[in-house]
Chain A
Amino acid sequence: DGGITQSPKYLFRKEGQNVTLSCEQNLNHDAMYWYRQDPGQGLRLIYYSQIVNDFQKGDIAEGYSVSREKKESFPLTVTSAQKNPTAFYLCASSDMGRETQYFGPGTRLLVL
């Protein structure tokens, strides 16, 4: 777990603004994931990437975008098209061929 970092810890978004959440890992993991967690609910998959320069939509990708230019980095942009972005965002990673996922500490996004 200590090998996955997310920043910032808290992020405030104004209406109409795009914001980017950072996720970095030094575990040499191939796969990275973004999940959204709403209060009292489970985690829902936004996007995932199994190799550099490739990523796939998850179950709730609308209003979000990602890039995977480096193996260790998988930033998530919450666009103005996401009308209800307030949530706890969790990044995870796993090694190729292994299902076990390890989570970062999360970013809490709030709307002003």
Chain B
Amino acid sequence: GENVEQHPSTLSVQEGDSAVIKCTYSDSASNYFPWYKQELGKRPQLIIDIRSNVGEKKDQRIAVTLNKTAKHFSLHITETQPEDSAVYFCAASSSSTGRRALTFGSGTRLQVQP
């Protein structure tokens, strides 16, 4: 089955700096890669996703890049703000297997220092 590795486990940045979180996946059939943000005690919220037919996607201060050959994808947050502090999860799924359920990384705790 799919295995998703996520790094780093914790990340501390100064307000205004950029943050980058990286994930690798094992199943070459995976074709959907979402990123979720989870605040303490709350549900995960989808912040951006990318499908395997594109290499990059941006939404304001957030961008995701995908390298299918290397089987890794990254989340980039620019001009970080204190409200960006949360745990971020990457995930992967494959529509070809019929399962469609997400396999998650272990999470990155991002702390933005004012």
Which of A1, A101, A106 contacts B102 (CB under 8 A)?
Answer: A101
Bound Cα distance from A102 to B92, whole angstroms: 15
Task: Tell whether A90 is near chain B: CB-to-CB under 8 Å.
Answer: yes
Please determine whether A58 and B101 come into contact, CB atoms closer than 8 angstroms: yes
Chain A contacts of B28 at CB under 8 A? none
Contact: A99 with B100, CB < 8 Å?
Answer: yes
B104 at the interface (CB under 8 A from A): yes
Q: Which of B13-21, B40-48, B57-65, B75-83 is near enough to bind chain A?
A: B40-48
B107 touches A42 (CB 8 A): yes
Interface size on A, residues (CB 8 A): 25
Report Cα–Cα, A99/B92, bound state, in Å: 10
Within 84-107 of A, Cβ neighbours of B (below 8 Å) are at 90, 94, 99-106
Q: Give the distance in Å from the alpha carbon of A94 to the alpha carbon of B89 in the complex.
A: 18
Q: How large is the interface on B (under 10, 10 to 19, 20 to 34, 35 or more residues)?
A: 20 to 34
Across the interface, name the chain B residue whose C-beta is closest to A34.
Answer: B101
With CB as the reference atom, state the residue of chain A lying closest to B1.
Answer: A59
User: Which chain A residues border B6 with CB–CB below 8 Å?
Assistant: 42
Known: A99-B32, A100-B49. A45 touches B106 (CB 8 A): no
List chain B residues, Cβ under 8 A from A103: 36, 43-45
Top-4 shortest CB links A-B: A42-B104, A99-B32, A103-B43, A43-B104
